[in-house]
Structure 1
Amino acid sequence: MNITATIRNSRQDNDIVVETQGNQKTIPIPGKPAGGGSSVNGGELLFLALATCFCNDIYREAARRNVTIESVAVTVTGEFGGEGDPASNISYQVQIDSDSPDSEIQDLIRHVDTVAEIHNTLRKGVRVSLRDAA
């Protein structure tokens, strides 16, 4: 699965496009009022990526188990130090509304923790490389 994320920012515009397998979507995130970047920072988006991944994977894995989920809430927290420092103390909490037994939901949560792709990407420490500008 090929995924691309692009931001084009100027003082007047903040255009964000994400794409998976040719399916493009725009994400409305305003720019900073004075220009020069987004009003949302990268750490917030990283934590949102973790929360979104886990939420989506809960529904995917629940469907595979024939478990009905009414709602999911995922809250990710962590810390960033000084400029250039990586995040630390990242943790997340999950709340699921379902008529299924609590033991079944807890088992589902533990399983999704092992298969959530964004979580596993960070846990593995995948290399990020800068390519030459075109």
Structure 2
Amino acid sequence: MRISATVHHEPGRHEVTVRTDDRTTTLDLPAREDGPGSAVNGGELLAAALATCFLNDLHREAVRRGVDIGAVQVVVESEFGERGEPASDLTYRVHVQSAADAGLVADLVRETDLLAEVHGTLRAGRDVELSSVQISAP
């Protein structure tokens, strides 16, 4: 599975698309009102990526285990310091509505925490490489 994200920004236009293999989705992320760039920052998108990954994986694992779950809320929080510093105090909490045994659901949440791929990527401290730079005249 190949995943990518593209942000294209120019005056009056801000587009964000994500892609998994052959499926492309456009995200509704507005431009900043007070200058160039996105109204949503990378830290917020990182938190959203973690929350979304966990949510999707929890549903996947619930189906795999035959556990019926209803509403799920995932809240991710982190602290960003000075310019250039990585996030710290990265935590998340989960609220699951389910008629299933609470211990079974808690086990499902803990197992999903270990399986969630975005979480695992951050925990493994993977490298991020700048692979290309192109400069063109307007």
TM-score by length of 2: 0.95
Counterpart position of 1:57: 57
1:63-102 Cα distance to aligned partner (Å, 9 max, x none): 0000111111000011000000000000000000011010
Q: CA deviation at 1:132?
A: 1.9
Q: CA deviation at 1:43?
A: 0.1
Give matches, 1:1-134, under 5 Å: 1-133=1-133
Gapped regions of structure 1 (runs ≥ 5): none
Q: CA deviation at 1:35?
A: 3.5
1:81-127 Cα distance to aligned partner (Å, 9 max, x none): 00000000000000000110100010001000100000000000000
Q: CA deviation at 1:133?
A: 2.7
Aligned identity (percent) is 44
1: CA distance between counterparts of 2:9 and 2:132?
Answer: 20
| AA partner of residue 55 (structure 1) | L
2: CA distance between counterparts of 1:114 and 1:47?
Answer: 17
2: CA distance between counterparts of 1:11 and 1:90?
Answer: 34
Contact 1:11 / 1:34 at 8 angstroms: preserved in 2?
A: no
Gapped regions of structure 2 (runs ≥ 5): none
TM-score by length of 1: 0.97
- Aligned to 2:111, the other structure's residue is in SS state helix
1: CA distance between counterparts of 2:117 and 2:3?
Answer: 13
- Name segments (4+ residues, structure 1) moved above 4 Å: none
| AA partner of residue 99 (structure 1) | A
2: CA distance between counterparts of 1:79 and 1:124?
Answer: 19
Contact 1:19 / 1:25 at 8 angstroms: preserved in 2?
A: yes
Q: CA deviation at 1:10?
A: 1.4
Contact 1:78 / 1:89 at 8 angstroms: preserved in 2?
A: yes
How many residues are treated as equivalent by the alignment?
134
